[in-house]
Amino acid sequence: MNPLITARGITKHFGATKALDGVDLDINAGEVHVLLGENGAGKSTLVKVLAGIHGHDAGTIEGHASLAVIHQELALVPELSVAENLFLNRLPRRYGFVDRAEMRRRAPKLLERVGLNVDPNAKVRDLGIAQQQMIEIARALDKNAGVLILDEPTAVLTETETDRLLEIMAQLRDNGVGLVFITHHLDEIQRIADRITILRDGRSVGVLGPRATTQHMIELMVGRPIEEQYPRAQQRPGQPLLRIENLTKRGVFENISIEVHAGEVVGIAGLVGAGRTEVARAAFGVDGYDHGTVAVDGKPLPRHNVQAAIKAGLGLVPEDRKGQGLVLTATVGQNLELVTLDDRDEERLHDIAGKLRIKGRVEQPVKELSGGNQQKVVIGKWLLADPKVLILDEPTRGVDVGAKVEIYELINRMTAQGRAVLLVSSDLPEVIGMSDRVVVMAHGRVAGELSKGATQDQVMALAVQEISA
């Protein structure tokens, strides 16, 4: 059978950067074709060339199928409603006017298809990123295209949502749709892939079958095996550096008490909506709270005051890097220095950029970096500021397996120097593997605490528990 799309020898430059170098790709009907590669390997660029967003310098693309693409960066309009976003650019019309009745009829069906329980009239800016991602997916599904390309849709999804998406993908495949799927989660690849094309530095370095081992995938993409995926080096804990006591924000979280000592990594696990991000934001002063205290190194912080928090030695790597972590039009160097403006230190700047292996030049605008490399800049900015206590909220979303280990080593280095880390993460192996203790939150409260060596089942048992008032 002929492929739906055949790309041969695709080459693409951005100035002096060769993002793609002679890549071949077939998209077949009834097949999930995974694109795997390190941050900056060229995956999103290939998608954009296939979609006609970028031109290419050499090579050919032949196709006879319509294309729907879910891009890595969300393309929703925050000020518009869920329904309006679902039908953006293709609003149903009647007699030349937007057919609102038709929209109201179709929106709930689409939302149900992706298992999203939100009001179609709600503004998109009021939704979490996982929900926004599901809206993008629903919108793409509505196009009933012959080829569906998904660029890291699961990076912001929870396990349940990921399961649902993989189910939908399998259904589409059975109905003859050709799918291209990009993810850094190797377990997802093993669950759904029919074929895996591995990119390294813009080149295709191998095509594997559905039974490929994770080791084989890693070796091809990183160019070396990874010995230890969670290389936590524990320290003897010192004095308490972060003390959150009875922190309460009515209707959001209640009586949260968490202590992190010098040299420690404390994890916060829990389901989406458990209140983890909200506690992190309140502690750092981005949001206010009703009562309780936050103290850094024995010094209580004023409420709702980020500047004071930073001055006291607190840092936060937020989960939404685009919205809160980066100035996209500024350069990598400028972003890295955002917290430390007063003491410019070129040497440390290059040191951090090198340790994180940020693929991109220091003088390049951040928006030209690949998604995973943008995430590394957010982390690098805070490592450079060297706070006493660093709160990391989903730090490795969209980061490749090799770069994750680099980030973990930098966490180890911080705690070896007597700093403290609070690690909020939905990635269970990560939060268990890198934390010395794990606090589990459920429904805005602390459901329990587990010591080193806890299992995923133990964490989940606490996370899903109903807490009586």
Binding site for Mg ion (CB under 5 A): 43-44, 72, 370-371
Of residues 292, 270, 299, the one with CA closest to residue 423: 270
Q: Which does 368 bind (CB under 5 to 8 A by kind): ligand ATP, Mg ion, none?
A: ligand ATP
Interface with ligand ATP (CB under 6 A), residue from 33, 359, 397, 445: 359
- Mapped onto helix, strand or coil, the DSSP state of residue 241 is strand
Residue linked to tokens 């007063």? 342
- Minimum distance from residue 51 beta carbon to ligand ATP (Å): 13
Of 21-29, 83-91, 364-372, 434-442, the segment contacting ligand ATP by CB under 6 A is: 364-372
* Residue 167 CA: distances (Å) to CA of 160, 164, 400: 11, 5, 24
CA–CA separation, 404 vs 395, rounded Å?
9
Of 129-137, 303-311, 320-328, 368-376, the segment contacting ligand ATP by CB under 6 A is: 368-376
Beta bridge mates, 347 = none
Q: Which is nearer to Mg ion, 131 or 370 (CB)?
A: 370
- Minimum distance from residue 220 beta carbon to ligand ATP (Å): 14
- Minimum distance from residue 437 beta carbon to Mg ion (Å): 34
CA–CA separation, 425 vs 431, rounded Å?
6
Angle at the Cα of 41 from the Cα atoms of 3 and 428, rounded to 5 degrees: 100
- Mapped onto helix, strand or coil, the DSSP state of residue 220 is helix
Does residue 397 touch ligand ATP according to CB under 6 A?
A: no
Chain positions 89 to 108 lying near ligand ATP, rule: CB under 6 A, are none
Q: Which does 40 bind (CB under 5 to 8 A by kind): Mg ion, ligand ATP, none?
A: ligand ATP
Q: Which is nearer to Mg ion, 397 or 437 (CB)?
A: 397
- Minimum distance from residue 190 beta carbon to ligand ATP (Å): 19
Of residues 222, 202, 218, 205, the one with CA closest to residue 42: 202
- Mapped onto helix, strand or coil, the DSSP state of residue 24 is strand
- What are the DSSP E strand ranges found in 15-118? 17-27, 31-37, 58-63, 67-70, 93-94, 97-98
Q: Which is nearer to ligand ATP, 410 or 460 (CB)?
A: 410
- Minimum distance from residue 302 beta carbon to Mg ion (Å): 40
Confirm if 15 and 360 have CB atoms less than 8 A apart.
no
Rg over alpha carbons for the chain, rounded to the nearest Å, is: 23
Q: Which is nearer to ligand ATP, 40 or 444 (CB)?
A: 40
Of residues 222, 263, 275, 236, the one with CA closest to residue 388: 263
Backbone angles phi, psi at 106, to 5 degrees: -85, -30
Q: Which does 17 bind (CB under 5 to 8 A by kind): Mg ion, ligand ATP, none?
A: ligand ATP
- Minimum distance from residue 368 beta carbon to ligand ATP (Å): 4
CA–CA separation, 283 vs 395, rounded Å?
17
Confirm if 35 and 181 have CB atoms less than 8 A apart.
yes
Query: Nearest to ligand ATP by Cβ — which residue?
Result: 372
Chain positions 31 to 90 lying near ligand ATP, rule: CB under 6 A, are 37, 39-45, 72
Q: Which is nearer to ligand ATP, 44 or 154 (CB)?
A: 44
- Minimum distance from residue 358 beta carbon to ligand ATP (Å): 10
Of 86-94, 273-281, 332-340, 366-374, the segment contacting ligand ATP by CB under 6 A is: 366-374
Q: Give the per-residue contact string, 14-33, with ligand ATP (x = CB under 6 A; - = no).
A: x--x-x--------------
Confirm if 439 and 269 have CB atoms less than 8 A apart.
yes
Single-letter residue type at 293: T
- Minimum distance from residue 54 beta carbon to Mg ion (Å): 13
Interface with ligand ATP (CB under 6 A), residue from 235, 370, 426, 435: 370
- What are the DSSP E strand ranges found in 58-118? 58-63, 67-70, 93-94, 97-98
Residue linked to tokens 């939100």? 118
Q: Dihedral (C-alpha) 440, 257, 420, 338: value to the nearest 10 degrees?
A: 100
Structure tokens at 75: 């393309």
Q: Which does 360 bind (CB under 5 to 8 A by kind): Mg ion, ligand ATP, none?
A: ligand ATP
- Minimum distance from residue 326 beta carbon to Mg ion (Å): 15
Of 124-132, 369-377, 385-393, 433-441, the segment contacting ligand ATP by CB under 6 A is: 369-377
| Binding residues vs ligand ATP (CB under 6 A) | 14, 17, 19, 37, 39-45, 72, 359-360, 368-373, 400
